[in-house]
Chains A and B, each alone.
Chain A
Amino acid sequence: MNRDAIIKLLKQPVQWVEERTGVIAFSAPLLTHHVPRSAKWWYVFGSATLMFFTIQIVTGVCLGTMYAPSASNAWESLRYIDEEIPLGWMLRALHGWSSSAMVVMMAIHMLQVFMHGSFKYPRELNWITGVFLLLTVLALAFTGQVMRWDQDAYWGLGIGAAIVDRVPVFGDQMRALMLGGPIIGGETLNRFFALHVFILPGAAIGLVGIHMTLIMKNGISEMPKPGEIVVPSTYRKEFEERMHKTGVPFFPDAAQRDMVFCGVCLILLVFLAAYYGPFGPGGMPDPTLINTNPRPDYPFMWIFGAVSLLPPASETAIMLISPVIGIAILVAVPFLSNSGERAPSRRPGMMLLAVFVVMAIVALTWEGVTSPWSPVMNGWSALPTPTQFVKGRTPLQMQGAVVFQYAQCRNCHELGGFGGKRGPALDEIATRMSPDQIVRQVQQGGGNMPAFGKNLNSAQMTAIVDFLSTLRPANEPDSTIPGAQLPLPIKSPLTLNEPFTGTGVPAEIATGASSR
């Protein structure tokens, strides 16, 4: 058979299908529609988001064949997929990493559209469907975290329930609606399962369809140039003329960049999944195992960070109202400014706003990851008193160091770089506070420190203050205010070298000297 004969043979069924469906006639213009010549590497992020979404659907359906959506054995089924099913862990890893990648790509895509002013006339609805896609994807990420049904999932639901519960009047009912009952249990997982595999993916597919249709209708925006102003009355006509004259077909001119970028992303995704493996599942979802440190997944870490920094008096209002305001502002963006300059250099205020939002989210995420407000729960029993704070101390000061551990001070205070960050590090506390100030602080608390007055007896208090009064760098004076009355007999601490010879044996012992 020669080449022409093969081509003819292949063409026949294609023509047969085309004659009956018109699929080529329908899709060819979609592929070859003209896009601006200037649409280069900035335009690849939307395609990458869509690619990751496709991966999510494929891997999600695969996982759906093995996952048991039941609170009594979801966790075990995940362990089974990880450990027993060939490549099951890889599927979970792909699904998890692709989810993170989709959120990241979506955020970059959104930022690019915002910075280039691409949401202006006539693409307002492109932006708004994009906002709803963002919300859908974040909801998918949260419900996906619940699917892991481990301790983080359980207590993450608890946090969500506690926030919903704060809604005035209907809080209780809304919480019950969310959890599927008065507790976090079987019905809760199944509700979130229905959301995660039916409702939200359905919504996302629909929104992607609208988003794409709008792209076809309105075209891809050009790279912004200073001075090229969007005038709604003339924009569409001029844009279409420019596309006609200088545009290039999407396929292959623009698609090739998407293909390169998506290819790189896909390879990276597989390597990430193969190297770092799946997310969780963490500890068993048993609420009586309380030695747990619940943390949300990364896309929500900034919210976790934010809720701990809110002032207690207004936090309920802020927690409930700020999401509404945030979404309203995002939706309102194209209405607030739908014409005029698109170039970043001509919209410095908007650029500052974008930079501020990105920095705020990054900073809050960092705060959430490090959680300086969280006590180190086993700090008191796991973090030793560093050598420099033990050497050359008197027996009372040594007992003070033990009291410091015993009273869980270490859970919130650092010594030698280890310990909680809730309170200040106490390595040099003696240079900042006099013994009587330390006594008052420990007894009465204040500044977000509990009062220990009732829980420490006088000996413990004396010992701990004596110990803390030694915490200062060598050669620095203490903060004792001249003439201030000391409530307790505080002895001056020994410096490191005073009682010792270089051999580490006390001078008296080494030389055999005796005072008696």
Chain B
Amino acid sequence: MLRIPNFFSCLLIFASIGCDRMPGKPTVATPVAIGSSAWTQSTFDTNCRGCHSQGAEGAAIPLIDAGYWKVATDAQVIQVISHGQGVLMPSYLESNGGPMSAEQIAAFVKGMRSLWGAGSPGGQGGISDVVVAGNADAGAHVFASACASCHAAGGSAGSVTDPMYLKLISNQGLWSAIVYGRAALASPAWNEPMPNHPNGLTPTEVADVVSWIAQARPVSPANNQNASNAK
């Protein structure tokens, strides 16, 4: 006879205490703090991942890469995110029609550096992250010895002097492509071994080669403007 009251008292306890700890109880939604790693990751996943993925995925410079954050400075990354870059990097600043405020962009860059920067404050690695004007004539020689074996017109890795390609990439973009490379796609960074340059290129050689490649670009106001913006 005691079983039934026991059962009901169990049920009562279950109802008053247990039920409110069931898995179905909605968790109190705490807004993700701007600048937190969760916020940074989700912002990246929504807005950047499509092009700037990690490893071999994605077609643009991978941002999840300690090598990138070693060279890149916060100021330059903020500049590119805020105002876009070349033809294909959109501007994300609100006043440019983008989704983020200046504070959010600054917090985002800081967050990315703490997530993927491996403690580097940026601006290291022996080369600037902003394109520097070089000597095109000198660049022609550098290209012929270091780059042409793969990147000449018809080369195995594809031409970088294709005017259509150059219309889509700014000098800053060329600079970044040479400086950072794509390790996962076997494209060397600027200071890694290249044909006839076992220790890679010097910063001057990078600047020269960018200037030489850029000469093949059909004149386009947009690119000039972007190149000057970057400076």
Contacts and interface: CB of A to CB of B under 8 A. Distances in A.
Interface of A: 82-83, 86-87, 89-90, 93, 273-278, 378-387, 390-399, 401-403, 405-406, 410, 457-460, 462-463, 491, 494, 498-500, 504-506, 508-509, 512-516
Given A395-B158, A459-B167, A382 B87 contact: no
A399 B162 CA distance: 12
A37 to B, nearest CB: 34
Nearest to A83: B28
Given A382-B49, A410-B50, A491 B164 contact: no
B58 A406 contact: no
Majority secondary structure, B binding face: loop
B20 A87 contact: yes
B26 A508 contact: no
A277 B28 CA distance: 13
A277 to B, nearest CB: 3
29 contacts: A87-B15, A89-B25, A90-B22, A275-B23, A275-B24, A378-B47, A381-B47, A384-B49, A384-B58, A385-B59, A390-B56, A394-B159, A395-B159, A395-B165, A396-B168, A398-B59, A399-B165, A399-B169, A457-B167, A459-B163, A459-B165, A499-B156, A508-B150, A509-B150, A514-B196, A515-B148, A515-B149, A516-B144, A516-B148
B159 A403 contact: no
B33 interface: no
A395 B160 contact: yes
A499 B151 CA distance: 12
Interface residues of B, number: 53
A79 to B, nearest CB: 8
Contact of B24 (A278, A396, A457, A459): A278
Contact of A403 (B20, B88, B158, B195): B88
B119 interface: no
B60 interface: yes
Interface string B21-51: 0111110100000000000000001111111
A506 B185 CA distance: 9
A396 B159 contact: yes
Given A506-B157, A506-B186, A399 B59 contact: yes
Contacts of B51: 381, 384-385, 402, 405-406
B215 interface: no
A83 B29 CA distance: 9
A491 B164 CA distance: 13
A402 B151 CA distance: 19
A381 B48 contact: yes
Interface string B140-157: 000011001111100011
A394 B185 CA distance: 11
Contacts of A463: 164-165, 168
A277 B45 CA distance: 28
A406 B88 contact: yes
Contacts of B165: 394-396, 399, 459, 463
Interface in B180-217: 185-186, 188, 193-196
Given A274-B23, A384-B58, A498 B168 contact: no
B90 interface: yes
Contacts of A386: 57
The 9 closest A-B pairs by CB, nearest first: A394-B158, A277-B24, A401-B59, A384-B53, A459-B167, A274-B22, A514-B195, A387-B56, A384-B57
Contacts of B45: 382
Contact of A397 (B24, B158, B194): B158
B185 A390 contact: yes
Given A385-B59, A390-B56, A406-B90, 12 more contacts: A83-B26, A274-B19, A381-B46, A382-B46, A393-B59, A396-B158, A399-B168, A399-B169, A459-B163, A498-B156, A508-B195, A515-B149
Contacts of A406: 51, 88, 90
Contact of A277 (B26, B53, B87): B26
Contacts of B28: 83
B150 to A, nearest CB: 6
Contacts of B55: 387
A379 B159 contact: no
A90 B16 CA distance: 12
Contacts of A399: 59, 88, 165, 168-169
A90 B195 contact: no
A90 B22 CA distance: 9
B49 A513 contact: no
A384 B50 contact: yes
A439 to B, nearest CB: 13
A274 B18 CA distance: 10
A505 B22 CA distance: 54
A381 B58 CA distance: 11
A463 to B, nearest CB: 6
B29 to A, nearest CB: 8
Contact of A380 (B50, B169, B195): B50
A391 B158 contact: no
From A278, A382, A401, name the one whose CB has the most chain B CB atoms within 10 angstroms: A382
B47 to A, nearest CB: 5
Contacts of B160: 395
Contact of A274 (B24, B56, B58, B164): B24
Contacts of B144: 516
B149 A513 contact: yes
A405 B156 contact: no
B221 to A, nearest CB: 12
A514 B145 contact: yes
Contacts of A87: 15, 19-20
Contacts of A514: 145, 149, 195-196
Nearest to A388: B56
Contacts of B150: 499, 506, 508-509
Contact of A516 (B46, B59, B145, B168): B145
A500 B184 CA distance: 12
Contacts of B162: 395-396
A516 B26 contact: no
